[in-house]
């Protein structure tokens, strides 16, 4: 288990950031590039069937879990490190009339509070890149999947050797960039846990669209809620350089977004 103090502090820091109202305003409902359209593509690639039991790791405020429960008829458990996010997700499930098919629990992706081999599918969107111990999280994904069950990930990809300085550091890590990995390395991490990659797709344009959306929302908040941005620790002055560096990184193939499907091997 990853009990390293730095790792625990990083989890707490990310959880606090992603449960803040300012981050919600900047990122939108889905909190990840591609939004619900890419979530549907992920669900289709997983070939979810009605009544399939699904775990949504790092579920945030429940957008993906509720979509899978409503549109696909799945029985979904959502887990997030932030109690605030879980409370909001539970309220959203109640409002949507889905409390029986979408349940939410506070917990750690590296120590999942579920028995072995109980889920048909695990999904994790734009979150593995933030986990301090990715190998441990992958092992937990494999543990709770039934043999033949599938893992669906959408996540940030980077070439760490070419990442510009504007996209490193704590802020970039919370923004899912600084500790992301190349797509083949995600596959290697999963393979070590007994998860065989069966399909991958590039969705780099989704990353560019999200950069544009965040910049537009930031510019609006700069005029209407500057004090909230400052209180949340958003470095307004550094933002233009970071956005420019991010766009260049996507164009150069340094930064991107990908979809990956892996299957738990029988062993």
In the chain, what are the domain boundaries? 5-20+30-203+250-264
Rg, Å, the chain Cα set: 18
pTM of the shown model: 0.85
The predicted pLDDT at position 5 comes to 47
Phi, psi at residue 107, to the nearest 5°?
-175, 180
Superfamily of domain 5-20+30-203+250-264: Vaccinia Virus protein VP39 (3.40.50.150)
Average pLDDT, the chain: 86
Q: Which of 133, 259, 136, 266 is nearest to 195 (CA)?
A: 266
Phi, psi at residue 108, to the nearest 5°?
-110, 130
Q: Which residues are CB-neighbours of 138 under 8 A, at least 6 positions away? A: 128, 189, 190, 192, 193, 195
Q: What percent of the chain clears pLDDT 90, i.e. is strictly above it? A: 61
Q: Report how far residue 102's alpha carbon sits from residue 104's, in angstroms, rounded to the nearest whole number.
A: 7
Average pLDDT of the segment spanning 42-60: 95
Interval 76-108: pLDDT, tens: 999 999 999 999 999 999 999 998 899 999 999
Interval 163-173: pLDDT, tens: 888 777 545 54
Q: What percent of the chain clears pLDDT 70, i.e. is strictly above it? A: 82
Task: Pull the structure tokens for residue 71.
Answer: 């549109």
The predicted pLDDT at position 231 comes to 67
Inter-axis angle of helices 63-71 and 35-46, to 10 degrees? 50
């Amino acid at each position: 288990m990853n009990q390293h103090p730095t790792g625990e502090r990083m989890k707490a820091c990310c959880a606090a950031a992603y449960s803040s109202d300012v981050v919600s305003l900047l990122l939108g409902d889905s909190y990840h590039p591609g939004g619900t359209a890419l979530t549907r593509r992920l669900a289709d690639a997983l070939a979810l069937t009605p009544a399939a039991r699904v775990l949504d790791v790092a579920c945030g405020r429940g957008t993906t879990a509720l979509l899978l429960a409503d549109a696909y008829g799945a029985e979904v458990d959502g887990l997030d490190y932030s109690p605030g996010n879980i409370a909001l997700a539970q309220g959203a499930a109640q409002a949507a009339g889905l409390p029986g098919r979408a349940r939410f629990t506070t917990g750690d992706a590296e120590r999942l509070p579920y028995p072995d081999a109980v889920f048909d599918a695990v999904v994790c969107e734009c979150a593995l890149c933030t986990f301090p111990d990715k190998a441990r999280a992958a092992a937990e994904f494999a543990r709770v999947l039934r043999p033949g069950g599938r893992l669906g990930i959408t996540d940030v990809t980077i070439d760490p050797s070419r990442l510009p300085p504007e996209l490193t550091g704590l802020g970039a890590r919370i923004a899912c960039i600084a500790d992301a990995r190349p797509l083949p390395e995600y596959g290697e991490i999963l393979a070590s846990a007994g998860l065989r990659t069966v399909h991958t797709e590039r969705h780099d344009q989704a990353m560019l669209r999200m950069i544009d959306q965040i910049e537009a929302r930031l510019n609006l908040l700069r005029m209407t809620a500057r004090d909230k941005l400052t209180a949340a620790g958003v470095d307004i002055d550094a933002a233009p350089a970071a956005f420019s560096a991010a766009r260049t990184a996507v164009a150069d193939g340094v930064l991107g977004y990908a979809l990956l499907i892996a299957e738990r091997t029988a062993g």
